[in-house]
Amino acid sequence: MAFESLNRDNVVDFLADIFARRGGESYMGEPVSMSEHMLQSAALAEKAGAPDSLIAASLLHDIGHYTSEFPEESLEQGQDNYHETAGADVLTAFFPKSVHEPIKLHVAAKRYLCATNPEYFNRLSPASVNSLNVQGGPMSDEEVADFETHEYYRDALRLRVWDDEGKFAGAQTRSFDDYRPLLTGLLVATER
Ligand code: FE
């Protein structure tokens, strides 16, 4: 399926297509594939009783790895590809802030939690510790205070924890298609 332009009618198909074609790729140094990881994150959000917008954010939080022009291995190689921004940018036109803002903040949320919660750092996987250094390390006090001014920072922190936990090899989850009604229900009116 070719997507020359994205619109409200095809964006969910576009996302499904990415999951289908690219989801089998490995999640940088973790024992799960990218689609398994994002589906597990969404499942954890559902289990926690999160609103639909935050379930959608969890499901789509790493989609930016596929919209960036940088190869996905670039993070492992020590260059931050800003996948959280790339992902949020694509979603901005189609989903409300409650979906794309937590995605945009999910890497900063890790830096925030490392600065504010010593136990959090100790639970990070080796791959996640490695990428933390590339991403700028724990936040400074000023950065922590600034992070807390974002409207959706608490949602970003919740998403972050599910992101960190969604790495179980072989765990059963629902499929992307199961989330189509939820995603479609969140689409915002768009001119495109
Ligand atoms: Fe992730």
**Boundaries of every domain in the chain:** 7-188
Cα of 9 vs centre of ligand 1, distance in Å, is 26
pLDDT of residue 78: 53
Cα of 58 vs centre of ligand 1, distance in Å, is 8
Please give the C-alpha separations between residue 81 and each of 1, 54, 71, 72, 94, in angstroms, as whole numbers. Answer: 26, 23, 8, 8, 23
Give pTM, 2 decimals: 0.88
Cα of 65 vs centre of ligand 1, distance in Å, is 10
Please give the C-alpha separations between residue 119 and each of 75, 116, 130, 173, 186, in angstroms, as whole numbers. Answer: 24, 9, 17, 28, 35
Whether 186 has a pLDDT exceeding 70, the answer reads yes
How far is Cα 77 from Cα 90, in angstroms, rounded to an integer?
Answer: 25
**How large is the average pLDDT for residues 7-34?**
88
Cα of 163 vs centre of ligand 1, distance in Å, is 5
Cα of 145 vs centre of ligand 1, distance in Å, is 24
Torsion angle of the four alpha carbons 12, 187, 175, 34, in this order, in degrees rounded to the nearest 10: 70
Q: What is the pLDDT of residues 65-111, one digit of tens each?
A: 876 533 344 445 555 557 777 777 778 889 999 999 999 999 999 99
pLDDT of residue 166: 94
How far is Cα 50 from Cα 36, in angstroms, rounded to an integer?
Answer: 19
Q: What is the pLDDT of residues 26-53, one digit of tens each?
A: 887 788 999 999 999 999 999 999 999 9
Instruction: Give domain 7-188's CATH architecture.
Output: Orthogonal Bundle (1.10)
3-state secondary structure of 39: helix
Lowest mean pLDDT among 30-34, 142-146, 147-151: 30-34
CA 165 to chain centre: 13
Other CB atoms closer than 10 Å to residue 190's CB: what's the count?
A: 14
How far is Cα 94 from Cα 8, in angstroms, rounded to an integer?
Answer: 6
How far is Cα 104 from Cα 182, in angstroms, rounded to an integer?
Answer: 20
Q: What are the backbone dihedrals phi and psi of residue 33, each rounded to the nearest 5 degrees, phi first?
A: -80, 170
Structure token digits, residue 142: 């000023």
CA atoms within 13 A on the CB side of 98: 11
